[in-house]
Structure formats: structure tokens, C-alpha cells
Structure 1
């Protein structure tokens, strides 16, 4: 995923979402050959020359200042996460920082994870690989897979593959479309941070080929980090569960995320979760 190419695609998709009326401009010309803002209109809003903006969109300007990128972000009505993504695409990291070894979970983190008896918890890597999970998370998310699958780098489950390629996972999430959108938005953010990560590039290519819904969502260029949400599960063994999902970046391993699920105390969901953990 060349960052220059991704930058141009991101800018074009976001231009296409806006009309002159959306941003307070008078449309000129009776026929518009583009669905959204023209380059010259966006350049006018951002206060840069059309030639400069065109070079930026074509990946030919690697020295755009924060002020220029922020102006373009405001013109495109990007939120803070999307602006950070824009800055990352405009200034990709130096090549050569590819991961040479499989990601590992710190022993202390793994011990904490496995000490949780009721709360499903898992560690996710930069490309959404499941690096570790406890027994409740395994029972909740993928009981059809071996419990020790995350321990073998070559066999590790991947959350994005589960969401888009596993019928079990599609049935598990009551609002699967929301989970699918969030998954793609995270992968887009990750791709901007690590454009030369081979595992991430391979994952996106595989999902785009195998799943049309993924390909359509990917083409929209959503950008969003993982946030805390409430998730409703339809588990085949214990039925409906409404769980709060909290996501934390690990201080010692900032590329990794800890996701923990919890039910409201004394609720039907807590009873169902206790039953699942006891099975």
C-alpha cells in the first residue's frame, strides 16, 4: 500500500462526498463531471494553489506543512482522527521498518489476561491478529478454533478475517454491519500508520478479493481507531448478551491493544456470561 497512492485516493474519496452547497460555495457550470468538489474548489477553501493541491493529491509533494494539511482537513470537514490519518499519509514513515519477527505479548500482560475468570479479554496486534486470549474470550468469540491457536504465529486467528470470512462470527454479532464498518475503519487507520507492513498489506488484499462487502467498505476510506462500545452478541450456547467492550493501548507495546468485555452486574447478560464461562 504505497502511501502516496493512498493519500490521493483518500483525498479524492473525501472530495467526492462534499458538494459546493455543503461548504457554502456557488456551483459554477451547468454540468459537473465529478460528483463532489472539484480540485480548484477545495484548493480555494484551503487557501492553496490548484497546482499545489494537485501535486499533493498525486503524491508529488512530500513537504506539506501542518498548516496546509490542517487547512485541507478543515475544508474536507475531517474529524481529528481523519486529520491525523491525512498527516500520516502525507508523511509516511521511512521504509525499512518492517516487522522481522512475529509479535509477542509480554509475559506480565499474558498473566493478567489469563487471570480474568469472567471477563473475556484478548490482545490484538497491529494487523488485528489475535496474539492472546483467555478462556472466556475463546468461548465467546471462536470456540470452533483451538484454544492455543494464538500461541502459534502461523495459525493465529485474525479478527478481521473472522468478521468477514467466518459465518460463525457474522451470526455472533447482532449488529454485524456496525462491527464490519469499525473493523475496516481500524484497518484503514493502521494502514496509514504502517504502510509497509507486509502482513497488513496481505490481509487487506486477501479480504478485498474474498469479500465484496469488505472491498466496498475499504473503498470508502473510513478512518477510526478502536473505541469503547456496547456490543450485543447472539451466542449459540447461551443466547443474547449485551457486553461493554473497553479497548486499551498497552503502554509497553503501543502497537498492541487489550480488549476486555464486561456485563452489567446482576443482569441477564452477566448470568449468560457466567454460564458460558462455566461450560
Structure 2
């Protein structure tokens, strides 16, 4: 069977093109309607005094969201809020320790009273530590889980009723180390794997309530987290920290600003999984293809040891 080309007059061709353009415009408009709109939404972001938390706050504020900045460091929280306000955005700031459950619930009441109920929550606050399983103390593991996992739990439970009421969105920051293991990162792995599993279960529970849940898996992002990494006392030297920062910089391909934009875009698209950076995408593929051998291929057996 052969087909002959149809020759249309210029007038007919223009009418056909006009209809095609109309349908494309309608499709784009429909897709935008399905996306989460941030304009006018109350957005809580923990750990937003710097790093990914700050840049996500800035990117969301540019979309019209009212950002509730909070951080353990009150000066850093205030600085983020001022940056947003100076750029024409709307932000308020609070000091918050995410491990203090009562304080997190108190903030949720304050937000509801002063700003209206929360629409979005980004559980971002986190810490890092490099230590072997053999040397790690129970207290160190509890410190890690208290911030990186229970901080997520506290924030979620404190704001969940408000977000359900608004058919809102919860975003929890895991890590690429919430998908793969790494030597000397057992505590961090445990916390970030816990965040990923918790978030997936929460996502399924919230389907009937029309609440979106996303998990963020950052790869290497050029933040200050490496310089703040907790080290064993007998290894905490200036030389060790310099080597740690050097090694981290070699793996950190993404700027905090780019990471914040990726998170906001993922929120708008209502993506269940938000991977940040080419390294995160590469590692995710490798661990799927080689579940038993990825650590060897990616050189993860030495961890972040200098």
C-alpha cells in the first residue's frame, strides 16, 4: 500500500496549523493545571539557614510561595528570610531544633494561627558523620537518627493534619546514600534509608487523601556539610578535614542553587522521586543494574576515608 502526499492550499494549511497550535496550547494549559502551583502557598522548610534548604526556599519564593524559614541557627534563618524579602518574596523565620518534638508541634500551631495552615513541608534538616561500625557509639547513632530521621517524623506528624486539609505536599530529603551503601557511612545510610522507606509508606497512605509525597535523593551538592561532618575524636585533625573536603569536592557536581531549582521543579511536577545531579542518576542506574557489585564499580568500599 502506498500513500500519496496531500497538497493543501495555503488557506487550508493555515487553518490546519491554527487548529494544531490551539490543541497544543490547550494541552500545555491542561498540564499546567495538573502541576502544583506554589503562588500564595505556605511552605515550611526545615534546615533552611543555608545549603539546599536556603536555595529551595529562594526558588519557591520566586514562584510566589510564603516561606516559613526555620533552622537551628537563628541568625542563619534570619539571613535566609532577608535574602528572600530583599528579592521581593515573602518569608518569616524561626529558630527550630527538629529533634525537639514539642517545639516542632508548637511551630505548627504558630503557623496555623499566624499564617493560615501549611500547604507544603520540606523536611530538609540534616547532619553527617564519618565513622566505622566498629568505632561508632550508640550515642552517635542516636544523634544521627534523632536529626536525620526523627526530625523528619516530627515535622511530618506536626504538620500532617494541616497539609491533609489543604491537599498539600510533603517533601522529605533522603540522599543518594539512601539508595546505596558506603563504607564509614553506616549511620548516615541507616538514617537516609529510613527516610526513603518512611516516605514511600507515607506516600501510599496519603493517596486517598489527595496529598502528594516526594522523596529527594541528592547526589554530591557543594554545601558546607562536609566541613561540618562529625569525625571520631582520634581522627578529627585539620589534615583529615582538609582531605575530607577535597574528596567531597571531587564528588560534588551540583551547586546548591541548581539543587533548589530541581527540587522546586519536582514539586511542581508532583514527582514521587526527585534525583539531584548527574551522579545521582548514574548511581541509581548502577545499583539497579549491578545490585551486588555497584560498590566495587563505583569505588565505595573506601567510603569517605582520606
- TM-score, length-normalised on structure 1? 0.27
Which structure has greater helix proportion? 2
Q: Which has the larger radius of gyration?
A: 2
